[in-house]
């Protein structure tokens, strides 16, 4: 079982995917083209999230409760943050027995700072998220946050696997997709799109 940790933005996109689904079991990503016309990588990530979330049981994926991401949301009071908090509460229904999402303190300076120095990451909030990923024992942090992704190699040296959702999905399906984009391959196989 692969343990996946989503950062705060991914949870917002997952909520939006569900909001726009109009009854589809796989959600909808059409809104992303309008919302991010100059963000093709972000659109690809949102497309990938549709299938990562909807096929999680078939693929034996475990979504970890991301306490620090939730705590980060609780510090903000804008509409997007409140809507994403609602997504977290829905996410609680997906947790397995014994897993709990805590409204944890969002500590920018933590006792483990010295053991896992992340000073090379400029945003202290991002450092909190990365520390929580390691604390939870996640196999991967899925993020579209360029402020974290720019440090992907340094984080890998510390044992923290950080990757865009679209890159993760392409890697996960690498054996079966024959160099085809993972979402395009899934849509061809599942729905006959592009066949």
DSSP percent split of the chain into helix, strand, coil, nearest 5: 50, 5, 40
Better pLDDT: 91 or 160: 160
User: Is residue 43 in some structural domain?
Assistant: yes
Please indicate, yes or no, if residue 67 is contained in any of the structural domains: yes
Q: In b/e form, how buried is each residue of 134-165, taking b as 16+ CB within 10 angstroms? A: bebebbbbbbbbeebbebbeebeeeebebbbb
Residue 114 located in a structural domain: yes
Q: What is the pLDDT of residue 19?
A: 86
Could you tell me if residue 62 is inside a domain? Answer: yes
The pLDDT value recorded for residue 103 is 45
Domain span at residue 153?
A: 2-167
Q: Domain count for the chain, please give it.
A: 1
Lowest-pLDDT range, 19-28, 53-62, 98-107? 98-107
- pLDDT over threshold 70, residue 195: no
Q: What pLDDT shows up at residue 117?
A: 75
User: Would you give the distance in Å from CA 48 to the centre of its chain?
Assistant: 10
pTM: 0.81
pLDDT of residue 82 exceeding 60, the answer is yes
Is the pLDDT score of 147 beyond 80?
Answer: yes
Q: Which pLDDT does position 70 carry in this prediction?
A: 67
Evaluate whether residue 124 is within a structural domain: yes
What does the pLDDT average to over 16-29?
Answer: 89
Whether the per-residue pLDDT at 106 is higher than 80: the answer is no
* Tokens 């991010």 -> residue: 36
Residue of 25 and 93 predicted with greater confidence: 25
Has residue 188 been placed in a domain?
no
Lowest-pLDDT range, 31-45, 62-76, 90-104, 180-194? 90-104
Task: Look at residue 48 and tell me whether its pLDDT is greater than 90.
Answer: yes
Q: Answer yes or no: is 178 within a domain.
A: no
181 within some domain:
no
């Amino acid at each position: 079982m692969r343990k996946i940790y989503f950062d705060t933005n991914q949870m917002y996109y997952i909520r939006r995917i569900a909001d726009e689904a109009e009854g589809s079991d796989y959600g909808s990503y059409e809104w992303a083209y309008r919302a991010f016309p100059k963000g093709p990588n972000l659109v690809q990530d949102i497309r990938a999230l549709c299938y990562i979330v909807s096929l999680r049981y078939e693929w034996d994926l475990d979504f970890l409760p991301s306490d620090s991401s939730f705590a980060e949301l609780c510090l903000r009071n804008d509409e997007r943050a409140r809507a994403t908090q609602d997504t977290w509460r829905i996410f609680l229904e997906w947790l397995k027995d014994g897993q709990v999402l805590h409204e944890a303190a969002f500590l920018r300076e933590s006792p483990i700072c010295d053991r896992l120095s992340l000073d090379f990451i400029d945003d202290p909030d991002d450092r909190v998220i990365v520390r929580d990923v390691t604390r939870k024992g996640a196999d991967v942090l899925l993020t579209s946050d360029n402020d974290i992704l720019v440090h992907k190699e340094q984080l890998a040296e510390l044992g923290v696997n950080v990757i865009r959702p679209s890159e993760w999905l392409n890697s996960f399906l690498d054996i079966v997709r024959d160099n085809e984009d993972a979402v395009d391959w899934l849509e061809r196989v599942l729905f006959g799109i592009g066949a």
